[in-house]
Amino acid sequence: MSKHQLDARRLLCPMPVIRTQDKVKTLSPGDILEVTCTDPGVLSDIPAWSRINGHEYLGHTENHDEIVVTVKVGG
């Protein structure tokens, strides 16, 4: 299990979702991915994407205009 980061700042939805999806494909079940975003749309899109595709959405933190969402890769 390892932890990974992805920079999706300044991308508008669905680009952050696409980048997350493509990155997750390269990871293993149980890995954690933290995605830094600026489009608040990710707060709805990444949890939905995670639910649909069998990953676990672990929540988000916000710092000024940056949002970090965390996903645990499903099996």
Partner 1 sequence: MAKQHKAVALISGGLDSLLAAKVILDQGVHVEGINFYTGFCVEGHTHAIRQKDKSKPKRNNALWVAEELGIKLHIVDVVEEYKDVLVNPKHGYGANMNPCLDCKGFMVKKALQWIKENDFDFIITGEVIGQRPMSQRKSTMPIIARESGADDLLLRPLCAKFLPETKPEKEGWVKREELLDISGRSRKPQMALANQFGFVDYAQPAGGCCFLTDKKYSDRLVDLWETRNDKNYELDDVMMLKVGRHLRPKPHFKMIIGREEGENKFMEGYRKQFVHLRASSCMGPLVLIDGELAAEDEALAAQITARFSQGRDENSVVVELTDKTGVAKLIAVKPLAENGILEEWRI
**Catalytically annotated residues:** 13
Nearby residues of 70 by Cβ (< 8 Å), 6 or more positions away: 32, 33, 34, 35, 57, 58, 59, 60
Strand partners, 69: 35, 60
Place of tokens 């991308």: 11
When the beta carbons of 1 and 12 are compared against partner 1, the nearer one is 12
When the beta carbons of 1 and 18 are compared against partner 1, the nearer one is 18
Report, in Å, the least distance between residue 36 CB and partner 1: 14
Interacting residues toward partner 1 by CB under 8 A = 10, 12-15, 17-18, 21, 38-41, 44-45, 48-49, 51-54
